[in-house]
C-alpha cells in the first residue's frame, strides 16, 4: 500500500506543479491518503481491501481527535466537531465527508492505474450521516451574529494595547483584518493565507484585492471602505511589528514572522468570537464566513454574477451550495418589491387609492 500511496502522492503533486490542481487541494489529498494508509495499516495490500475494510477506516477517522483544535479552543458552545470521552474534539461531519471524498479519488485513480481490480468504495456502506451525524442546517451567520462578529473585529483594532505586552505579540490589527476580509469578501482560507502585500492595489480611487484562486485563476475584488481602513492601519502599524524579514511578501504573519498557516485562521476567529456578546455569538469556521458573504450579498439582491465573481466560482450553479436561508428574508424582499415602488406608501381609501406619508415598517 505504501508504494501506491507514494506514487499517488507524486501524481497529485505533479498536477499541482502544472496548475491542473490547486496547491491547497493537493495538500488535502496527500494528507488524507497518508492518513488512510496509516489507519488501514501500512502493511496491508491495497488490492486486498474490501468495502468493510474501508468502512472500518472511515469509522476510525470519525473518532480520530482533530489536532487542529483543542476542546476549548473557541470557548463557544456548539463549535464544529463532537467531543470524545477523553475530552478531545473529534472530526466534524464536514471533515469526515471531505476525507471520504479524498479516499474515493484515491481509489478511482487506483482502479484506472490497475492497482486494484475492484474499487472497494463501490461496496462501502458507511455514509457521512452514519459517521458524523447530520451537518448543521446553517453555516452562514445571521445578520445579528455577523454584525456582532464584525463589530468585535473593529473594536479589537482600536482597543488600547495591553500594558506589558511585547510588540511581536500585538496581533489585534492582524486578527481584525482577517475577520473583516473573510466576512466581507468571502475568500477561501488558502487564498487568504497566500495573499501578499503587493496583491492589494488602487484603481480609480478604489482599493482592490487581486486574489489568486483555484486552478491558477485570478480575480480582482473591490474592498469596502471599513476593510480598507483596517488594511491600511495593519500595513502601517501592525505588520511591521511582526516582520522578521523571513516572509517579505506575505500579508499575514505569525508572531514568529512566518506566513500565517491555514490552521491558525480558526484560532483567530475564535479569539474574536470570544469578544462578542453571548446572545449574538455562534461558532463559525472560515468556510462558514464564506457562506455568510454569499448569503447576505444574495439576500440583498446583489447581482448573482457579481457574487459569483467575488467568490471566484466559474459557474453560477455553484452559488446554491453557498447560500443559506435567512430568517424573514422573504418578508423583507416583498416589502421593497421593485415592481411596486410607484404605489409604495399609498393608502387604500373608499373609492380609490390616496397617497399617504412614508410607511414605517417594524
What integer is the mean pLDDT of 327-338?
66
pLDDT of the residue at 126? 65
Using DSSP, how many helices (H) and how many strands (E) does the chain show? 14, 5
Confidence of residue 167 (pLDDT cuts 50, 70, 90): low
Domain ranges of the chain: 2-132, 143-329
Q: Report DSSP letters for 107-143, one per residue.
A: HHHHHHHTS-SS-GGGT----HHHHH-PPPS--SPPH
**Residues taking part in catalysis:** 188, 214, 287, 290, 313, 322
pLDDT of the residue at 219? 94
Long-range contacts of 68-71 (CB under 8 A, 24+ apart): 68/263, 68/266, 69/266, 69/267
Say how many C-beta atoms besides its own lie within 10 A of residue 285's C-beta: 21
What is the pLDDT of the chain when averaged over all its residues? 80
The label of the residue with cell 497518508 reads 34
- Which three cell numbers, joined as nine digits, stand for 79? 463549535
Of 133-142, 154-163, 230-239, 283-292, minimum mean pLDDT range:
133-142
Confidence of residue 233 (pLDDT cuts 50, 70, 90): very high
Residue 154 has pLDDT above 80, yes or no: yes
8 Å CB contact between 159 and 230: no
Confidence of residue 350 (pLDDT cuts 50, 70, 90): very low
Rg (CA), the chain: 24
Residue 53 has pLDDT above 80, yes or no: yes
Of 54-58, 66-70, 265-269, minimum mean pLDDT range:
66-70
Q: For 290-331, how does the pLDDT look when each residue is reduced to its tens digit (9 = 90+)?
A: 989 988 888 887 788 888 899 888 777 777 776 776 666 666
What integer is the mean pLDDT of 56-60?
86
| Calpha distance 346→114 (Å, rounded) | 73
Q: Report DSSP letters for 15-39, one per residue.
A: HHHTTSS-HHHHHHHHHHHHHHHHH
Q: List the one residue out of 246, 197, 185, 190 whose CA is nearest residue 214.
A: 190
| Calpha distance 82→104 (Å, rounded) | 24
The rounded percent of the chain whose pLDDT value lies above 70 is 76
pLDDT of the residue at 319? 74
Residue 281 has pLDDT above 60, yes or no: yes
Q: Which of these CATH numbers, 1.10.443.10, 3.65.10.10, 1.10.1040.10, 3.30.300.180, describes 143-329? A: 1.10.443.10
Of 28-42, 120-134, 273-287, minimum mean pLDDT range:
120-134
What integer is the mean pLDDT of 155-159?
86
Say how many C-beta atoms besides its own lie within 10 A of residue 131's C-beta: 19
- Which three cell numbers, joined as nine digits, stand for 333? 424582499
Amino acid at each position: 500500500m505504501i508504494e501506491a500511496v507514494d506514487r499517488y502522492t507524486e501524481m497529485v503533486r505533479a498536477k499541482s506543479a502544472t496548475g491542473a490542481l490547486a496547491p491547497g487541494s493537493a495538500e488535502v489529498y496527500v494528507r488524507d491518503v497518508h492518513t488512510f494508509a496509516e489507519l488501514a495499516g501500512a502493511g496491508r495490500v491495497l488490492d486486498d481491501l474490501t468495502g468493510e475494510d474501508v468502512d472500518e477506516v472511515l469509522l476510525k477517522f470519525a473518532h480520530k481527535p482533530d489536532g487542529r483544535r483543542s476542546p476549548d479552543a473557541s470557548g463557544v458552545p456548539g463549535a464544529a466537531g463532537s467531543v470524545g470521552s477523553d475530552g478531545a474534539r473529534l472530526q466534524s461531519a464536514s471533515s469526515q465527508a471531505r476525507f471520504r471524498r479524498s479516499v474515493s479519488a484515491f481509489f478511482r485513480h487506483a482502479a484506472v492505474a490497475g492497482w486494484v481490480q475492484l474499487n472497494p468504495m463501490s461496496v462501502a456502506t458507511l455514509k457521512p450521516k452514519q459517521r458524523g451525524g447530520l451537518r448543521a442546517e446553517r453555516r452562514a451567520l445571521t445578520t445579528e451574529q455577523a454584525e456582532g462578529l464584525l463589530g468585535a473585529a473593529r473594536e479589537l483594532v482600536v482597543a488600547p494595547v495591553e500594558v506589558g505586552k511585547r510588540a511581536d505579540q500585538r496581533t489585534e490589527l492582524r486578527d481584525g483584518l482577517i475577520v473583516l476580509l473573510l466576512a466581507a469578501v468571502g475568500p477561501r482560507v488558502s487564498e487568504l493565507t497566500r495573499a501578499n502585500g503587493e496583491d492589494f492595489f488602487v484603481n480609480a480611487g478604489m482599493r482592490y484585492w487581486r486574489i489568486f484562486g483555484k486552478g491558477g485563476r485570478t480575480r480582482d475584488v473591490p474592498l469596502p471602505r471599513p476593510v480598507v481602513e483596517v488594511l491600511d492601519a495593519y500595513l502601517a502599524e501592525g505588520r511591521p511589528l511582526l516582520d522578521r524579514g523571513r516572509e517579505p511578501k506575505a500579508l499575514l504573519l505569525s508572531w514568529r514572522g512566518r506566513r500565517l498557516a491555514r490552521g491558525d485562521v480558526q484560532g483567530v476567529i475564535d479569539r474574536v468570537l470570544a469578544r462578542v456578546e453571548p446572545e449574538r455569538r455562534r461558532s463559525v469556521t472560515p468556510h462558514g464566513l464564506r457562506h455568510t458573504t454569499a448569503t447576505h450579498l444574495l439576500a440583498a439582491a446583489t447581482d448573482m454574477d457579481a457574487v459569483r465573481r467575488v467568490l471566484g466560482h466559474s459557474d453560477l450553479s455553484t452559488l446554491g451550495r453557498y447560500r443559506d436561508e435567512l430568517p424573514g428574508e422573504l418578508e423583507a424582499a416583498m416589502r421593497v418589491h421593485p415592481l411596486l415602488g410607484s404605489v409604495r406608501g399609498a393608502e387604500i381609501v373608499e373609492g380609490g387609492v390616496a397617497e399617504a406619508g412614508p410607511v414605517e415598517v417594524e
